[in-house]
Amino acid sequence: MGTFIVLVVLGLIVFLIIRSMVKAKKNGKSISCGGDCKNCGGGCH
């Protein structure tokens, strides 16, 4: 019974994270880049 509860809680957390990522993508926000290239250490330059 405890394993089932943990599984449901983890599934809910994963679902909420994915939903948040999809919502951010629909709003035009990048999931991995903030769009601030002058302060970016990545490949924006």
pLDDT tens profile 3-45: 999 999 999 999 999 999 888 878 777 666 666 666 666 655 5
What size, in residues, is the chain?
Answer: 45
3-class SS of residue 39: helix
The domain of 20 spans 1-39
Look at residue 45 and tell me if it is in a domain: no
pLDDT of residue 21: 86
Does some domain include residue 14? yes
Number of compact structural domains in the chain: 1
Q: What is the pLDDT of residue 9?
A: 98
The Cα 13–Cα 18 span in angstroms is 9
**Predicted TM-score (pTM) of this structure:** 0.62
What is the spatial distance between Cα 37 and Cα 30, in angstroms, rounded to a whole number?
A: 13
